[in-house]
Amino acid sequence: MFRRRGDGLIASAMLAPAIAILSIFVVYPLGRAVWLGHLRCDATGRKCRTSGWMQYFDVLRSSDFQHALKVTFVYALLTVPAGLVIGVGLAVLADKQIRGIGFFRTIFSSTVATSVAVASLIWFVLLQPQVGLLPDMLSMFGVMKNPGLLNDAGTALPAIAITSIWANLGFTFIIVTAALQSIPAELFESAMMDGAGGWKRFTNVTIPMLSPTLLFVSVVLVTRAFQAYAEVDLLTKGGPNPERSTETVTYLIYGQTSLVKNDIGLKSTTAVLLFVILLVLSLVQFRSLERRVHYGN
């Protein structure tokens, strides 16, 4: 494999920093979490006893985990397709060469520089029944104003989803805009000459040419949806209770009102299960969508 013995040593030396960083910050924590996942611990995390590897299955079967997983799936379904459609739509609109479009590009991409905490705070104010703009607008269509979208079990999760869609819009917009600009203009011109109108050009040229980007963005958005924590913590703290209607899996692990917050063993079990579920989901996304993805030539 190596032409000289020295080559192997040089290669090992050059790889060593990366291996060391990966080992310390990825492999060890992951291995440690898997190990902790079969323990039950006290609040301090110092006194642990073995509960057996079946603990993974016990947590998986538990109603708390299944509820949180269901909430997380619904949250992903609310945020990912809508975020993708709005992001692509805005990017396509902003791709036109018209005067002043740079201003709109800046506005559309600005949320990428907004932290989840700031986004949550903005939307917390906007969604307040007393002072918020959105409940006022919704009340015009007969949607109730009190107790407020975040305090109603039926609307709390969609309300958080709006925050997440808004916060992720900048990311989707920037990535899709970059991808749009790399599509050769001749393809659109050719389609135009072939008689394709705007919609046909969009479905026959834009979407297929964007497909690798859309796959990437959808995987990232699904991952982000499954990792949603800060917005839940800041806006609803997993509530309204007792329905726990916004308690996502990540909130189940870390949340202040979480059922497992005092047991590092159970937290690890849940975290590892979330990791496995995300891994499987990503693989399914790649497998199912890759056939529709064109990587160019």
Q: Which residues bind other proteins (CB under 8 A)?
A: 184, 186-187, 189-197, 200, 204-205, 208-209, 211, 294, 296-297
Nearest distance in Å: CB 199, other proteins: 11
- How many C-beta atoms lie closer than 10 Å to residue 29's C-beta? 12
Nearest distance in Å: CB 292, other proteins: 9
Closest CA to 234 of 146, 167, 140, 135: 167
Nearest distance in Å: CB 191, other proteins: 7
Using DSSP, state whether 91 is helix, strand or coil: helix
Burial class of residue 213 (count of CB atoms within 10 Å of its CB; 0-12, 13-18, 19+): buried
Question: Contacts by 104-111 with C-beta closer than 8 Å and gap 24+?
Answer: 105/177, 108/169, 108/170, 108/173, 109/170, 109/173, 109/174, 109/177, 110/170, 111/166, 111/167, 111/168, 111/169, 111/170, 111/171
CB 56 within 8 A of CB 69: no
Nearest distance in Å: CB 281, other proteins: 25
Nearest distance in Å: CB 221, other proteins: 23
Nearest distance in Å: CB 286, other proteins: 18
Closest CA to 75 of 273, 239, 222, 237: 222
Dihedrals phi, psi of 41, to nearest 5 degrees: -125, 160
If the CB atoms of residues 163 and 211 are measured against other proteins, the closer one turns out to be 211
Encoded tokens for 163:
């925050």
